[in-house]
Amino acid sequence: MYITPPETERHTLSITVTNESGVLAKIAGMFSARGYNIESLTVADISPDDEVSRITIVTSGTPHVIEQIVAQLDRMVLVHRVNDLTANGPHVERELALIKVAGTGVRHDEARKLAEIHHAHTLDVTPSSYVFELTGSSEEIETFIALMSEIGAVEVARTGIVAISRGKAAA
Amino acid sequence: MTTELPGADILIQALIDLGVDTIFGYPGGAVLPIYDALFKQDKIKHILVRHEQAAAHAAEGYARSTGKPGVVLVTSGPGATNAVTGITDALMDSIPMVVITGQVPSPLIGTDAFQEADTVGITRHCTKHNYLVKSPDKLGAIIHEAFHIATTGRPGPVVIDIPKDVQVASAHYTNPGKITHPTYKPAFAGDPDLIAQAMAIFAQAKRPIIYSGGGIINSGPHASAALRELVALSGAPITSTLMGLGAYPASGPNWLHMLGMHGSYEANFAMNECDVMLCLGARFDDRVTGRLDAFSPNSTKIHVDIDRSSINKIVRVDLGIVGDCGSVIEDMVAVWKAEGYAKADLTEWWTKIEGWRARKSLNYAKSANEIMPQHAIRALWQQTNERNPVITTEVGQHQMWAAQHFGFEDANKWLTSGGLGTMGYGLPAAIGAQIGNPDALVIDIAGEASIQMNIQELGTATQYRLPVKIFILNNEYMGMVRQWQELTYSSRYSESYSDSLPDFVKLAEAYGWKGIRCSDPAKLDDAIAEMLAYDGPVLFDCLVAKQTNCFPMIPSGAAHTEMLLESAQVSGTMDDEAKALV
């Protein structure tokens, strides 16, 4: 007997929750308990009174699984709202990465030039290294990391996706 | 301004304000302040169980038979972890329950203190919601909110973990009254347009079926009443899940018996061939659907459920209605009448159903030498049905035989562990049901293996003079395990023999119960009469035919139409795909 994985699609979910201890464990635990994927997860307080946090989760699954994920999130006591941004129209997604590149001489110059072309900010510089900051789509960040890897990227930190719907309405 | 009260007193006062009159529990170090507060009052009765798992099951039995939430009080660490099986059981079967657990004092949390366990962590995924109370100021509000969450929407267990210092420290308490929660807003009424659409489809059906479940029982007696009216108005046949038995009477003319793995031939074939399926408060469990790609292939499916995540979870439906079953069915009845829908001519459909019924799938072999387990259930029903008893069960063959052969006429009379399938549920659930219904006849139909999982609760019934009856179908096997080993593993009985059984009659007597043993079919009726005549708890050890299996059966991975009706059809082994299914 062999197990064949089903066809999946990628969705970005924006979830507002009551900001209290345990809520992130509850949500992350629901994903693991029911066998759902988390590709990235970001969470931060978004309210002036520290009451509400936004969790952005990138997940993948069959359309049926995505529908279940939204329904399972929606019924949690501390969840205010679940917005499947991928399903609900246009939205923007951004990610921030910090990339440390080591190298001297030609390599050092090459790293700086490539960073300029990609509009990366230089946060730290030494004669033999840089730390660049790049904000963009996941694809842009991956392209930049791939380039820097050839020069000598030694360490990468990424935030994971944050996302918001386009237009004037709060979704 | 109210005077300040210690946390333990706030808890007791809040419970009294919420109408709680019974708690099932077990004391320990981290709940001593609460037990002292209990000692000083007389409004709440505490039932001392012998193991915390039993406290949770007793609370379930109390809740399921009365419609009121069950309340559990246990200590930290092992008290809480022992209760976890019962809490999970309540989650799976949607039983309203509030579990109060003691916790080590706040400053000691996280230090691996004596009897410390991460109770909110452990119970996060087996509760509907849980709380760690960090301050006595918040305790009263949390208790009220917990009951609101446990009892509304899809009911379920809520855990409140209270550190010992919070039980001792003082704060003000006021009764908040009706709760409006900022984020938890369960649906109640269904969308009227969808209900109208559902009835338009249902009224047109040529081969309709109603498939009802435990949601009807949870919704309350009005839901059963509305269901019966809808069946009468439409003339549709009705089947039910294990959890929904009693919502429609077993003696009703439209009753097809339970469906699913051990359901009747007529129920499963009618599900397979219907053109409109109206699913009310059931959740398309794998025990009900059989092989999914063969499940009711040509029907329009309408699903009513209070939990949005139940709709389209397993089976794609054509019309999903989120709402309380009772409310939605009442609206359906109103629409049916307002639209002037007439009962359709279902003669052809019923003729077909009668053909399936004629297979008499629930028939069983008779024997003059040994007691057939199905006959024992039937004999028990014969002598008790007029008293409308509350029946609890353990898990296994006896549970399925009870579901098949004991006819239930009303809701809240059938208490069984359906979702989690917890052996050891029946005796504590019977104790809880007897506490909640002091005048009722309460019988735990058990197996000799399951009953031993919470056998210590004999002592609880003795202590509170509860006249609970236990009726053990003793075949000296974990029968359902053995049945699957016969079906799948060429009868290699790996560890399924109940060796070294106790003498149940002596065991009963040791606990102050009456013990009866019967192995002769000719003496069975008299022995049951003796059990029923005894004013006190009785353990009845009914020695039944050892090798009997539970039929009909849909083997796992098979379609509704691939039912096995008798053991002669059972093959000795299965392929890996079938072995991998539960």
pLDDT tens figures, B470-488: 999 999 999 999 999 998 8
A100 and A78 in a common domain: no
Q: Is the Cα torsion angle B258, B260, B263, B267 positive or negative in sign?
A: positive
The average confidence (pLDDT) of chain B is: 96
Distance between CA atoms of B286 and B314, rounded to whole angstroms?
9
A21 and A40 in a common domain: yes
The arithmetic mean of pLDDT across residues A52-56, rounded, is 97
Question: Touching check for A25 and chain B: CB below 8 Å?
Answer: yes
A66 and A25 in a common domain: yes
Q: For residue B330, what is the domain's CATH number?
A: 3.40.50.1220
Identity of the residue in B154, B181, B309 whose CB atom sits nearest the CB atom of A71 = B309
Amino acid at position B265, single letter: Y
Indicate the helix (H) or strand (E) that contains A12: strand A9-18
**Residue B434 predicted with pLDDT over 60:** yes
A119 and A71 in a common domain: no
For the ranges A102-106, B7-11, B23-27, B282-286, the lowest mean pLDDT is seen at A102-106
Annotate A25-34 with b (16+ C-beta within 10 A) or e (fewer): ebbeebbeee
- The model's confidence at residue A97, banded by pLDDT at 50, 70 and 90, is very high
B463 and B379 in a common domain: yes
Rg (CA), chain A: 19
Q: Are strands A153-158 and A91-102 parallel, antiparallel or unpaired?
A: antiparallel
Nearest chain A residue to B145 by CA: give it. A77
**Residue B581 predicted with pLDDT over 90:** no
A142 and A75 in a common domain: no
- The model's confidence at residue B244, banded by pLDDT at 50, 70 and 90, is very high
Indicate the helix (H) or strand (E) that contains B52: helix B52-66
- The model's confidence at residue B557, banded by pLDDT at 50, 70 and 90, is confident
B330 and B202 in a common domain: yes
What stretches of chain A show up as alpha helix (H) in DSSP?
Answer: 23-33, 63-74, 106-117, 138-151
Please name the residue that has the structure tokens 């059990």: B531
Predicted pLDDT at B571: 58
A54 and A28 in a common domain: yes
Question: Touching check for B293 and chain A: CB below 8 Å?
Answer: no
Identity of the residue in A29, A64, A71 whose CB atom sits nearest the CB atom of B124 = A29
B558 falls within a domain? no
A123 and A59 in a common domain: no
Q: With an 8 Å Cβ cutoff, are A74 and B312 in contact?
A: no
On whether the CB atoms of residues B60 and B432 are closer than 8 A, the answer is: yes
A168 falls within a domain? no
Q: With an 8 Å Cβ cutoff, are A75 and B120 in contact?
A: no
Predicted pLDDT at A153: 79
- The model's confidence at residue B251, banded by pLDDT at 50, 70 and 90, is very high
- The model's confidence at residue B532, banded by pLDDT at 50, 70 and 90, is very high
Number of residues written out for chain B = 582
Question: Touching check for B352 and chain A: CB below 8 Å?
Answer: no
Predicted pLDDT at A154: 84
Identity of the residue in A1, A72, A77 whose CB atom sits nearest the CB atom of B183 = A77
What stretches of B516-561 show up as alpha helix (H) in DSSP?
Answer: 524-533
SS (H, E, C) B252-306: CCCEEEECCCCCCHHHHHHHHHCCEEEEECCCCCHHHHCCHHHCCCCCEEEEEEC
B257 and B389 in a common domain: no
Distance between CA atoms of A61 and B253, rounded to whole angstroms?
45
Residue span of the structural domain in which B348 resides: 192-357
B290 and B416 in a common domain: no
Q: Are strands A9-18 and A52-61 parallel, antiparallel or unpaired?
A: antiparallel
Q: For residue A40, what is the domain's CATH number?
A: 3.30.70.260
B557 falls within a domain? no
**Residue B572 predicted with pLDDT over 80:** no
Q: For residue A112, what is the domain's CATH number?
A: 3.30.70.1150
**Residue A1 predicted with pLDDT over 90:** no
Q: How many domains does chain B have?
A: 3
A114 falls within a domain? yes
**Residue A55 predicted with pLDDT over 70:** yes
Q: Which residues of B does the annotation mark as catalytic?
A: 52, 114-115, 164, 480
Please tell me the distance in Å from B75's CA to the nearest CA on chain A: 21
B133 and B240 in a common domain: no
Residues B30-72: tens digit of each pLDDT: 999 999 999 999 999 999 999 999 999 999 999 999 999 999 9
DSSP symbols for B358-419: TT-TT-----SSSB-HHHHHHHHHHHHGGG--EEEE-SSHHHHHHHHHSPP-STTSEE---S
On whether the CB atoms of residues A11 and A82 are closer than 8 A, the answer is: no
A96 and A80 in a common domain: no
Predicted pLDDT at B574: 74
Residues B91-134: tens digit of each pLDDT: 999 999 999 999 999 999 999 999 999 999 999 999 999 999 99
B479 and B381 in a common domain: yes
Q: Which residues does A51 contact at the CB level (< 8 Å), separation at least 6?
A: A18, A19
On whether the CB atoms of residues A19 and A53 are closer than 8 A, the answer is: yes
Please tell me the distance in Å from A86's CA to the nearest CA on chain B: 20
Question: Touching check for A26 and chain B: CB below 8 Å?
Answer: yes
B570 falls within a domain? no
Q: With an 8 Å Cβ cutoff, are A30 and B125 in contact?
A: yes
Number of H helices, E strands in chain B: 22, 20
Provide, rounded to the nearest whole percent, the portion of chain B with pLDDT above 70: 99
Residues B364-394: tens digit of each pLDDT: 999 999 999 999 999 999 999 999 999 999 9
ipTM of this complex: 0.89
B580 falls within a domain? no
Residues of B in contact with A72 (CB under 8 A): 309
B110 and B209 in a common domain: no
On whether the CB atoms of residues B207 and B278 are closer than 8 A, the answer is: no
Residues of A in contact with B575 (CB under 8 A): 1
Of A84, A104, A123, the residue at which a domain comes to its end is A84
- The model's confidence at residue B1, banded by pLDDT at 50, 70 and 90, is low
Question: Touching check for A1 and chain B: CB below 8 Å?
Answer: yes
SS (H, E, C) B89-157: HHHHCCCCEEEEEEECCHHHCCCCCCCCCCHHHHHCCCCCEEEECCCHHHHHHHHHHHHHHHHCCCCCE
Q: Which residues does A42 contact at the CB level (< 8 Å), separation at least 6?
A: A55, A56, A159, A160, A161, A162
Of A31, A58, A84, the residue at which a domain comes to its end is A84
B235 and B161 in a common domain: no
**Residue B143 predicted with pLDDT over 60:** yes
Predicted pLDDT at A2: 81
The arithmetic mean of pLDDT across residues B531-535, rounded, is 98
The closest alpha carbon to A83, from A141, A1, A165, belongs to A165
On whether the CB atoms of residues B476 and B497 are closer than 8 A, the answer is: yes
Predicted pLDDT at B570: 58
Q: For residue B13, what is the domain's CATH number?
A: 3.40.50.970
Residues B491-519: tens digit of each pLDDT: 999 999 999 999 999 999 999 999 999 99
B177 falls within a domain? no
B493 falls within a domain? yes
Distance between CA atoms of B286 and B278, rounded to whole angstroms?
18
Best residue in B132, B308, B309 for a mutation probing chain A (most A CBs within 10 Å):
B309
Q: How many domains does chain A have?
A: 2
Provide, rounded to the nearest whole percent, the portion of chain B with pLDDT above 90: 94
Identity of the residue in A22, A74, A77 whose CB atom sits nearest the CB atom of B308 = A74
Number of H helices, E strands in chain A: 4, 9
B362 falls within a domain? no
- The model's confidence at residue A171, banded by pLDDT at 50, 70 and 90, is low
Best residue in B88, B109, B123, B125 for a mutation probing chain A (most A CBs within 10 Å):
B125
Percent of residues in chain A assigned helix, strand, coil, to nearest 5: 30, 40, 30
Residues of A in contact with B132 (CB under 8 A): 21-22
Of B324, B357, B390, the residue at which a domain comes to its end is B357
Of A62, A84, A106, the residue at which a domain comes to its end is A84
Q: With an 8 Å Cβ cutoff, are B124 and A26 in contact?
A: yes
Please report, in angstroms and rounded to a whole number, the separation of the first and last CA atoms in chain A.
45
B150 falls within a domain? yes
B500 and B450 in a common domain: yes
Best residue in B124, B126, B154 for a mutation probing chain A (most A CBs within 10 Å):
B124
Please tell me the distance in Å from A167's CA to the nearest CA on chain B: 26
Predicted pLDDT at B568: 63
Residues of B in contact with A27 (CB under 8 A): none
The arithmetic mean of pLDDT across residues B156-176, rounded, is 97
Best residue in A19, A27, A75 for a mutation probing chain B (most B CBs within 10 Å):
A75
B149 and B201 in a common domain: no
A4 falls within a domain? no
A26 falls within a domain? yes
The arithmetic mean of pLDDT across residues B139-143, rounded, is 97
A77 and A16 in a common domain: yes
B390 and B289 in a common domain: no
Predicted pLDDT at B344: 92
Please tell me the distance in Å from A39's CA to the nearest CA on chain B: 21
Residues A112-140: tens digit of each pLDDT: 999 999 999 999 999 999 999 999 999 99
A25 falls within a domain? yes
B320 and B219 in a common domain: yes
A71 and A13 in a common domain: yes
Residue span of the structural domain in which A127 resides: 92-163
A155 and A113 in a common domain: yes
Residues of A in contact with B183 (CB under 8 A): 18, 77-80
Residues B187-241: tens digit of each pLDDT: 899 999 999 999 999 999 999 999 999 999 999 999 999 999 999 999 999 999 9
